[in-house]
Amino acid sequence: GSPTLTLWDGGAPRSVEHERLPAGAMPLGSSRGDVALLNLRNDHLVVDVALGTLTLRPRCPEGVPLLAADLHADGTILVACADRTLRRSAVEKDGPGVIAARLPAEVTSVLLVNLFADNAQRAAVATTDNEVLVVDLATGALIRRLPGCAGLPSDLAARGDLIAISCFGGDVDLWRLQDERPLARLPTSSASVTLLGDGAALRVLGERLADWAVPEAGRPHELPSASGVAALDVSADGRLVAAAHGDGHVRVHRTADGATEADLPLGPYVAKDVAFSPNGAWLAAGQSQSPTLHLFETEGWVRRSVPVPTAMPTSAVARAGASLMPSPTIATTAPPACSRATR
């Protein structure tokens, strides 16, 4: 009942206040890790997660309500305004954005907007008319109209040629843009959805957490998660999905059929994070309560563990994995990027 926002950034929670954060309201949020975007229906509060500061930035013309928004990893903000415009701007800039597209006149209102994770020039827009519109923001053209679901959409994820539509009280529909019917309908309830890689993996959080491998052709395969999955990563070629499990194992699955390619035991602690190197030669993994970075060559899955002097934050694993390159000395020397990431 107070205008307070609580932030978690891998450590102790911090509370920040802002006079424009309405008491008792539940703002919608979108985050790229270092910045969060809060939708106040009329304006935006841009939150610097590291500093815990709030900045008010209007995104629609004065007097025009803001209906929905998304924040891309590259800093692009896309908003849907009540005048049926999609406006684009950068997170650092103030004032209304540039009109990127105008929605068809028959659109009643907008529930959600989602920028394609791999292409900020495209967006998926869920409407109150129970449709999902795919829009080219470079030209303003309408690419595709997809039917919604039994209940109105509650979340969207778009990447590559895939769109996942989660429905209130219903299922998750997974579409390929070129298809005339859903690729799959996944049973869940009011879920949040995330597409990883080039759409090679789908994470669904509803009544339970479920992960799916999505092949280039055919239906997705649900990955086993009896011990709980803390993190996923997809190889650059989209062929493999690695999952960090609560039983201390990393299991690598083929997206083509969901079969287990490798089962890699790390130790007695919970596996917390995984990351493939960009060239696909290495897989990095980390555990809670363990000061060891586990490295595996993806050819034969040979282990090359690197001890580090202090407990490693799990976020360091993704940063280290993103910069790993083959090295004949990797078994005894941490790559410089790993050393920087763990300080």
Of 30-34, 118-122, 181-185, 232-236, the least confident: 30-34
Instruction: Determine the pLDDT at residue 209.
Output: 79
Q: Please, what sign has the CA dihedral across residues 297, 301, 304, 307?
A: positive
Instruction: Determine the pLDDT at residue 226.
Output: 74
Burial tier of 332 (Cβ tally within 10 Å: 0-12, 13-18, 19+): exposed
More confident residue, 102 or 64: 102
Q: Looking up tokens 């490693």, which residue turns up?
A: 312
Q: Quickly count: other Cβ atoms within 10 Å of residue 31's Cβ.
A: 13
Facing residues of 52 across strands? none
Of 23-27, 77-81, 307-311, the least confident: 23-27
Q: Looking up tokens 């083929």, which residue turns up?
A: 254
CA–CA distance, 185 with 166 (Å, rounded to integer): 10
Average pLDDT for residues 226-231, to the nearest whole number? Answer: 82
Token code pair at residue 43: 């304006």
Average pLDDT for residues 272-293, to the nearest whole number? Answer: 88
CA–CA distance, 37 with 47 (Å, rounded to integer): 6
CA–CA distance, 234 with 161 (Å, rounded to integer): 16
| Average pLDDT, rounded, for the chain | 77
Average pLDDT for residues 63-74, to the nearest whole number? Answer: 83
Facing residues of 141 across strands? none
CA–CA distance, 56 with 44 (Å, rounded to integer): 6
Taking every pair of Cα atoms in the chain, the longest distance, rounded to a whole number of angstroms, is 64
Q: Quickly count: other Cβ atoms within 10 Å of residue 228's Cβ.
A: 14
Facing residues of 306 across strands? 293
Instruction: Determine the pLDDT at residue 86.
Output: 95
Residues 200-209 pLDDT 10s: 888 887 767 7
CA–CA distance, 210 with 174 (Å, rounded to integer): 14
Decide if pLDDT at 26 tops 50: no
Average pLDDT for residues 113-119, to the nearest whole number? Answer: 92
**Could you tell me which residues come within 8 angstroms of residue 244 by beta carbon, excluding any fewer than 6 positions away?**
229, 230, 231, 232, 250, 271, 272, 273, 274, 285
Contact 206, 170 (CB under 8 A): no
Token code pair at residue 82: 């009540």
CA–CA distance, 42 with 58 (Å, rounded to integer): 7
CA–CA distance, 213 with 328 (Å, rounded to integer): 32
CA angle at 71 for the pair 16 and 319, rounded to the nearest 5°: 85
Confidence class for position 54, pLDDT limits 50, 70, 90: low
Confidence class for position 253, pLDDT limits 50, 70, 90: very high
Facing residues of 232 across strands? 243
